[in-house]
Amino acid sequence: MKRDPKTVNIKKFIFLISILFVFCVPPNSAQAKGNLVRTEHFSPLSFCPHRGETTALDYHILRNSAVAIKISSLSGRRVFEYRQGFIFAGKYSFVWDGTDSFERTVEPGFYKCEIAAVSSSGDTASDYADAIVRVIIPGESLAPRIREKFKNWSVKVRGFVRYVTEAETGLSFDLNHREVQLDLKGRRGDDWRYGVRFFPFYSSGQPDWSEFVEASAGYYGSRFSVEAGYRNLVDGYADPLLLFASPALDRSRLSVLSKINAAEFLDLDCGLHYITGSNELGLNARGNFTVKDLRAACFTLNSFTESRANNVLAAECAVPLAGPTVISAEAGVSRTEARPDSSSAAVDSFGLAFRAELRHDFKAASGNFGTASVLVAGEYVEKDFACDLAALPNGSDNYGADIILGYTNNPGLPWLEDARIEVRKAYFRNMANNLQRQRFRPTVSVDLGRQLRVQVQYDYLGVEDITSGHDIPVSRSRNFFSEARYAPEQGGWDIYCSYATTLNTVSLYSEYTVTRAVCGYRFTVPFYAYLGYDKVANFTTPDPVTWRNYSLITAGFRWDISGKSKTRAGLQAGLVIDNLAAGAARMVYYGEFSHCVFRGLSLGLTYGTPSGADAIQRIYVQAKYEF
């Protein structure tokens, strides 16, 4: 059949206008509405998702805000939405692979991206002036038969290969560290997906290579999904109140998972797992029910071994009482029994566990006063309560309570943008009244303008023996961390200070303290010079010989010679004062050089004493190829 010349000419004219619209129309330079967000333009302006291509959009958040990203067609039909949450002011990048919210490839055409921001003071703004991109179909250069056969298949391959050699003085080279990582993800049509990840580390003492392999394949429909794989993460397995966690299922295992969206208010998840290392069979099932502000769930955890069976059934519910007040509760029962055909002396047991929380948010009428929240929780776990496929963070036989106080404020002052304070106090005692544990964790974080941020955190966890009526320490852990950083957005001075200390006492006193201060300057050219000070102390008693205490003063620079990070060089020299050297000072130094030979392949060389812990010179040679 002959084509009508007029019809062909009209189609060519429409296609030509579309190409001119994408590539010839200059980006709109209009500023964003308000003063919260500003977008640039997509790069590239057109891409083909069927070939695994993606496009990126750079955007600027001018004030700390909660950000949402929405992609719609030019007719206004929304195809994708992502809520990024609260982020700090700065430049960010959003990468789109051409799929919608259900991970299905969108139809060819023009799409726009809207970046919406809401500051903590309630100001809103959005911008999509420059954010227009075109999704195209695969080119006509492919043979029709091949394109027809594989049109519903797509594969993305990412990974790297790296070889690193290390030698001490004497230059006895040995390729002792090789890394390979391969990520393969693909789909057939819109609903079938598969993936393989292979990331072993070839070095001395490496465990079995099978510990570094993940593989999965499954069907993901709008209402139903099923997946089978090896070493899969279990989404939704742990409950939100953290009475149960799931470290056991992080081991090597074969899993079959399924999810059913039975209705708008009901979701069902279940999984069957075979843990290869312990010959253990696990089962989990969960149902989530949501109606307006009411949330409820019921779930079960089951494990079966050659000697016994363990079953846990639990339910949770969160109900808003009045406005910003929410009460939530969780209760669980466990049943453990010996297998009838086993010779094990396992004892049958039955246990109960319960936790309740009350949370209230104090929201001020004006944003200048910030917001405050308080959470009070009580917990009760019987000594016979057991869950083989989970961990109980507060022990297996205790009762107690914890309280969390939080405060956030953004007054909008030039020198004070955000202040966040959180204090947690927890106290638990076991049922035999011979052990108690306490936890105290205050955290303070302050943003003094866009350039200076200060954070302080203290975490104490202690266990005492109270059998004699007096608190006798069994174990104590104290962790303190503080940091402050001054980093202007446009370069210039970059100052960082931190102090961290860790103290653990069980049967041996051990303390590790690190103090660090670095002052650097970023020039207009890609050149960074710095001066640093490190103080490291490691004390262990009763053996004072193992004490280690040294100070390190360093000066150095890093230089992007090519200007685009293709070729880099650096040099650092330092003076170490070590207690093991009877106060004598020694010099340490190292130099580094790396070059990107071509796309994906880079070579690197480092020589010197990279650490202040010893004076042994080492040489590192690295070759890395990324694909």
pLDDT band at 140 (very low <50, low <70, confident <90, very high): very low
Task: Answer yes or no: is pLDDT of 229 > 80.
Answer: yes
- Which CATH number fits the domain that encloses residue 351? 2.40.160.10
Q: Which of 57-61, 104-108, 391-395 has the lowest mean pLDDT?
A: 391-395
Q: What is the pLDDT of residue 569?
A: 93
Q: How many Å is the Cα radius of gyration of the chain?
A: 30
CB 119 within 8 A of CB 81: no
Q: Which among 45, 62, 50, 190 has a CA at the least distance from the CA of 113?
A: 45
Identify whether residues 91 and 196 lie together within a single domain: no
Counting residues of the chain whose pLDDT is more than 90, the rounded percentage is: 9
Please state the rounded mean pLDDT for residues 99-110: 85
How confident is the model over 535-586, as pLDDT tens digits?
988 877 655 555 677 888 999 998 888 766 688 899 999 988 876 655 578 8
Q: Which of 261-265, 284-288, 573-577 has the lowest mean pLDDT?
A: 261-265
What torsion, rounded to 10 degrees, do the Cα atoms 320, 321, 327, 329 define? -90
Question: Beta strands 109-119 and 124-127: pairing type?
Answer: antiparallel
Q: Which of 8-17, 343-352, 389-398, 540-549 has the lowest mean pLDDT?
A: 8-17
Q: What is the pLDDT of residue 410?
A: 72
Please state the rounded mean pLDDT for residues 588-613: 85
How confident is the model over 377-386, as pLDDT tens digits?
998 888 778 7
Look at residue 372 and tell me if it is in a domain.
yes
Q: What is the pLDDT of residue 564?
A: 67
Please state the rounded mean pLDDT for residues 459-470: 82
Q: Where are the beta strands (DSSP E) in 142-212?
A: 153-168, 177-188, 192-198, 201-202
Q: What is the pLDDT of residue 64?
A: 80
Task: Provide the b/e sequence for 362-380 (b: ≥16 CB within 10 Å).
Answer: eeeeebeebbbbebebebb
Q: What is the pLDDT of residue 466?
A: 82
How confident is the model over 291-337, as pLDDT tens digits?
888 889 898 888 888 888 888 898 989 998 877 899 999 998 989 88
Q: For the chain, how long is the longest CA-to-CA vector?
A: 101
Please state the rounded mean pLDDT for residues 193-202: 74
Identify whether residues 202 and 310 lie together within a single domain: no
Look at residue 451 and tell me if it is in a domain.
no
| Residue 17: Cβ-neighbour burial (10 angstroms; 0-12, 13-18, 19+) | exposed
Identify whether residues 296 and 157 lie together within a single domain: no
pLDDT band at 532 (very low <50, low <70, confident <90, very high): very high
Task: Answer yes or no: is pLDDT of 15 > 50.
Answer: no
Q: What is the pLDDT of residue 34?
A: 45
- Which CATH number fits the domain that encloses residue 50? 2.60.40.4070
Look at residue 328 and tell me if it is in a domain.
yes
Q: What is the mean pLDDT of the chain?
A: 77
Distance between CA atoms of residues 197 and 185, nearest Å: 9
Q: Which ranges in 116-226 belong to alpha helices (H)?
A: 144-150
Identify whether residues 38 and 104 lie together within a single domain: yes
Look at residue 404 and tell me if it is in a domain.
no
Q: What is the pLDDT of residue 23?
A: 37
Q: Which helix (H) or strand (E) holds 17?
A: helix 5-23
CB 398 within 8 A of CB 378: no
The pTM for the full model equals 0.58
Cα atoms in the 13 Å half-sphere on the side-chain side of 381 = 22
Q: What is the pLDDT of residue 16?
A: 43
| Residue 235: Cβ-neighbour burial (10 angstroms; 0-12, 13-18, 19+) | exposed
Both tokens of residue 63? Answer: 């004030």
Q: Which among 476, 482, 535, 486 has a CA at the least distance from the CA of 510?
A: 476
Range of the domain at 181: 152-220
Distance between CA atoms of residues 208 and 250, nearest Å: 16
The residue assigned the tokens 């049943």 is 335
Look at residue 170 and tell me if it is in a domain.
yes
Q: What residues does 587 pair with on adjacent strands?
A: 575
Identify whether residues 263 and 293 lie together within a single domain: yes
Please state the rounded mean pLDDT for residues 236-244: 48
Q: Which among 61, 165, 51, 180 has a CA at the least distance from the CA of 116?
A: 61
Please state the rounded mean pLDDT for residues 365-388: 79
Please state the rounded mean pLDDT for residues 8-33: 41
Identify whether residues 183 and 312 lie together within a single domain: no
**Domain limit, last residue, from 220, 237, 272:** 220
Q: Which of 39-43, 160-164, 362-366, 467-471 has the lowest mean pLDDT?
A: 362-366
Which residues have CB under 8 Å from 129's CB, separation 6+? 28, 30, 32, 39
Identify whether residues 275 and 162 lie together within a single domain: no
What torsion, rounded to 10 degrees, do the Cα atoms 37, 40, 46, 51 define? -70
Identify whether residues 298 and 332 lie together within a single domain: yes
Both tokens of residue 172? Answer: 């006895």
Q: How many domains is the chain built from? A: 3
Which residues have CB under 8 Å from 459's CB, separation 6+? 439, 440, 441, 477, 478, 479, 480
Q: Which ranges in 92-243 belong to alpha helices (H)?
A: 144-150
Look at residue 265 and tell me if it is in a domain.
yes
Both tokens of residue 153? Answer: 């298949």
Identify whether residues 292 and 344 lie together within a single domain: yes
Q: What Å distances lie between residue 197 and 158, 202, 210, 274, 510, CA to CA?
A: 10, 16, 11, 20, 39
pLDDT band at 458 (very low <50, low <70, confident <90, very high): very high
- Three-state SS for 269? strand
Please state the rounded mean pLDDT for residues 470-488: 84
Please state the rounded mean pLDDT for residues 116-134: 75
Look at residue 458 and tell me if it is in a domain.
no
Task: Answer yes or no: is pLDDT of 51 > 80.
Answer: no
**Domain limit, last residue, from 356, 380, 396:** 396
Identify whether residues 46 and 78 lie together within a single domain: yes
Q: What is the pLDDT of residue 368?
A: 61
| Residue 297: Cβ-neighbour burial (10 angstroms; 0-12, 13-18, 19+) | buried
The contacts found for 184-187 with CB under 8 angstroms, 24 or more apart, are: 184/155, 184/156, 184/157, 185/155, 185/156, 186/153, 186/154, 186/155, 186/156, 187/103, 187/153, 187/154
CB 58 within 8 A of CB 145: no
Q: What is the pLDDT of residue 507?
A: 54
CB 407 within 8 A of CB 438: no
Q: Which of 153-162, 388-397, 415-424 has the lowest mean pLDDT?
A: 388-397
Distance between CA atoms of residues 154 and 143, nearest Å: 17
Which residues have CB under 8 Å from 241's CB, separation 6+? 316, 328, 330, 355, 357
**Domain limit, last residue, from 220, 251, 278:** 220
Q: Which among 429, 395, 381, 453 has a CA at the least distance from the CA of 64?
A: 453
Identify whether residues 274 and 366 lie together within a single domain: yes
Identify whether residues 20 and 116 lie together within a single domain: yes
Look at residue 361 and tell me if it is in a domain.
yes
Q: What is the pLDDT of residue 367?
A: 53
